[in-house]
Amino acid sequence: MYQKRRLVRLLACSGLALSLSAAIDVALADGGAHWTYEGAEGPEHWGELDPHYIACRDGHSQTPIDIHDAEQANLPPIEFHYVVGGDDEINNGHSVQVNYRPGSAIRIDGHDYQLKQFHFHAPSENHVDGHEYPMEAHLVHADKDGHLVVIAVMFEQGTHNHALATAWQDMPEAPHSHHELLSKASAEALLPANRNYYRFDGSLTTPPCTEGVVWLVMKQPVTASKEQIAHFTQVMGHPNNRPIQPLNGRVVQQ
């Protein structure tokens, strides 16, 4: 059972849309075809690598996007019910991910979504009015039926970020390695003071690029120091952002 739990955690960054039992089955079957962020296994070819990745090529509501011309919709506040609970940090070869203990959730549209993990991309995957940020965090939530909500937080280069310092206190530098965090990380500390957001329907940004994901992108960026951003990019060894995808008629609300 412990081995299965570890396999599900390693799969979580790209497979949270799967049920728990399906995630275990995929993990035990090597989790699908190998993919990368460049070359013959890069984003332009994800949809060709595995039949399970077909949405990466043929999907019509893919993420990331360039957020522009958002429509006014008087979006309701997101209700955050977070506790400090990031306890296990994984370098899965595609990102650095902090898995979260049960007990933290958001409420939106009268529905609860549990926080499962957060991870990072550099440079940012989503853009705002054509602007690319040096880094972006994704806070991944799921309800009991596997429906996903991802909160995105943009990072600008600036002052030292204490929440990142805690989350990255002992960043695993080798792919497919993990560390138990000595001090639990806080997802709430990663959020900006102003919680206004953009909303759109999208997908996972990594294979299998599953659609039906609700994206909530914080309007206000936070800061990270030049050294913190450089540390993450050095550990990754390459940019880990998927290129911008077409809107295909989708509406972004604010």
pLDDT tens per residue across all 254 residues of the chain: 333 344 344 344 444 434 332 332 332 334 689 999 999 999 999 999 999 999 999 999 999 999 999 999 999 999 999 999 999 999 999 999 999 999 999 999 999 999 999 999 999 999 999 999 999 999 999 999 999 999 999 999 999 999 999 999 889 999 999 999 989 999 999 999 999 999 999 999 999 999 999 999 999 999 999 999 999 999 999 999 999 999 999 999 99
Distance CA 121, CA 242 (A): 9
CA atoms within 13 A on the CB side of 205: 29
Q: How high is the pLDDT of residue 115?
A: 98
Widest CA span in the chain: 48
**What stretches of 168-244 show up as alpha helix (H) in DSSP?**
226-236
Q: How high is the pLDDT of residue 182?
A: 87
C-alpha R_g of the chain = 17
Q: Confirm whether 171 is domain-assigned.
A: yes
Q: Is 14 in a helix, a strand, or coil?
A: helix
Q: How high is the pLDDT of residue 31?
A: 62
Q: Confirm whether 22 is domain-assigned.
A: yes
Q: Confirm whether 254 is domain-assigned.
A: no
Q: Which of 73, 54, 55, 71 is nearest to 63 (CA)?
A: 55
Distance CA 113, CA 214 (A): 11
Q: Which residues contact 78 (CB under 8 A, 6 or more apart)?
A: 106, 107, 108, 151, 195, 197, 216
Query: Pairing between strand 148-157 and 222-224?
Result: parallel
Q: Confirm whether 139 is domain-assigned.
A: yes
Number of domains in the chain: 1
Q: Which of 8, 158, 163, 11 is nearest to 82 (CA)?
A: 163
What phi, psi does 61 have (nearest 5°)?
A: -135, 60
Contact 14/216 with Cβ under 8 angstroms?
Answer: no
- State the residue range of the domain holding 195: 2-236
Q: Confirm whether 67 is domain-assigned.
A: yes
Is the pTM higher than 0.85? The answer reads yes
Tokens encoding 40: 């013959």
Q: Confirm whether 247 is domain-assigned.
A: no
In the DSSP assignment, the letter for residue 1 is -
Residues with a known catalytic role? 94
In the DSSP assignment, the letter for residue 131 is B
End-to-end CA distance of the chain: 43
CATH assignment of the domain containing 219:
3.10.200.10
| Polymer length of the chain | 254
Q: Confirm whether 246 is domain-assigned.
A: no
Q: Confirm whether 133 is domain-assigned.
A: yes
